[in-house]
Amino acid sequence: MPHQTGAENVHAIQYHQHTLILLDQRKLPHEETYLHFKNASGIATAITDMVVRGAPAIGISAAFGIALEARLQINLPALNLRDAFTVLAASRPTAVNLFWALKKMKEAMNDCASLNMSEQVAFLEETAHTILNDDIKNNHIMGDLGASLIDSGSQVYTHCNAGALATGGYGTALGVIRSAHAQKKITHVYAGETRPWLQGARLTAWELMADNIPVTLSCEGAAGQLLRQGSVKWIIVGADRVSSNGDVANKIGTYNLAVLAKYHDVKVMVVAPSSTFDLSIESGDLIPIEARDEHEVTHIQGIQMAPKACPAINPSFDITPRELIAAIVCEQGIILEPNKEKIMAMLGNTEKESR
């Protein structure tokens, strides 16, 4: 489908007939396989195993996980979702959107506690749908905001996949790229392949090719030489968590790019909805960084590359300090040269409201 209609509106997360349907992102770009989920623990495993990945997409999936678990209890006297919340919260540690979405679902649960069971379940399903739909809406808003920063005729570089596949649809970083390309501001996109999981090669290239946005793949090692050539004007990435001072946790390799960008006077744009901000954390160094299995580095598609028993580090994310970031684009506005004051001014009230 995406290859006929474009990937802009690909829906990696669908909810039909009380079933969460996830596009299995481990099989892309060669196979479009959809997996069906009916309960929270199945969705938690899907998140851990990266059937679905990307900070907003993880949050949305977890929200539906709570709704599904509620539906399984529709004939019981009362909802007991404690285990569902626990298993989903333990699925991955870094992306705060997961915890944000679970908090939203808990609030919804409290809000509807006086309704009958059937109404409660319907309310939780509606809340999950709202999280999904708001995410898509916000991505379009951020797309336009981010595009407003980009000069005509620019080449840009993106890392990992912050696209339709990583969100409810349209994408964060790729949302900006889509909007700016539609406005003829972006002429070419370089996609870092993003070892070890190759999100760039497998997912971002797939999305951009399907949308006829010119894309060229690059190994991470070639980024410095590419930036040195001078055509790339922006590094555009998503985020998994933004601390209150503006430090950004994102896919491993983002920090490299930010340092390279600084050295070459290239600007870094982080595109992240307000659900990605964690105002309870003062700085990036306090964000928990997931260490994934060494086999993701030593093996590729099940084939062993490194010698047997070769140790490897596999941090899934790194921290880019705010000094290296030119702009954070959020659905509530653009934060240039982010710092705590600017972030609290824009998002401090939202946070309070939701508490």
If the CB atoms of residues 268 and 347 are measured against a second copy, the closer one turns out to be 268
If the CB atoms of residues 220 and 351 are measured against a second copy, the closer one turns out to be 220
Q: Under 8 Å CB-to-CB from 237, ≥6 apart: which residues? A: 158, 159, 160, 162, 173, 250, 251, 254, 257, 268, 269, 270, 271
Angstrom distances, CA of residue 143 to CA of 2, 181, 186, 232: 20, 10, 13, 19
Task: State the nearest-atom distance from the C-beta of 216 to a second copy, in Å.
Answer: 5
Task: State the nearest-atom distance from the C-beta of 235 to a second copy, in Å.
Answer: 13
Q: Is 240 a catalytic residue?
A: yes
Single-letter amino acid, residue 26: R
Q: Under 8 Å CB-to-CB from 35, ≥6 apart: which residues? A: 21, 22, 24, 46, 51
Residues 19 and 13: their CA atoms lie apart, in Å, by 10
If the CB atoms of residues 72 and 217 are measured against a second copy, the closer one turns out to be 217
* Residue 8 and residue 170 in contact, taking contact as beta carbons nearer than 8 Å: yes
If the CB atoms of residues 218 and 283 are measured against a second copy, the closer one turns out to be 218
If the CB atoms of residues 218 and 332 are measured against a second copy, the closer one turns out to be 218
Task: State the nearest-atom distance from the C-beta of 249 to a second copy, in Å.
Answer: 11
Query: What are the backbone dihedrals phi and psi of residue 239, each rounded to the nearest 5 degrees, phi first?
Result: -155, 155
Q: Where on the chain is the footprint of a second copy (CB under 8 A)?
A: 29-30, 190, 192-196, 198, 201-202, 205-206, 209, 215-226, 228, 251-253, 255-256, 259-260, 262-263, 297-298, 300-301, 303-307, 309-315, 318-319
Pick the catalytic residue from 111, 144, 211, 240.
Answer: 240
60: left (phi over 0), alpha (psi -120 to 50) or beta: alpha
Query: What are the backbone dihedrals phi and psi of residue 26, each rounded to the nearest 5 degrees, phi first?
Result: -70, -25
* Residue 209 and residue 247 in contact, taking contact as beta carbons nearer than 8 Å: no
Task: State the nearest-atom distance from the C-beta of 66 to a second copy, in Å.
Answer: 33
Closest CA relative to residue 109, chosen from 100, 119, 99: 119
Task: State the nearest-atom distance from the C-beta of 337 to a second copy, in Å.
Answer: 19
Active site amino acids: 240
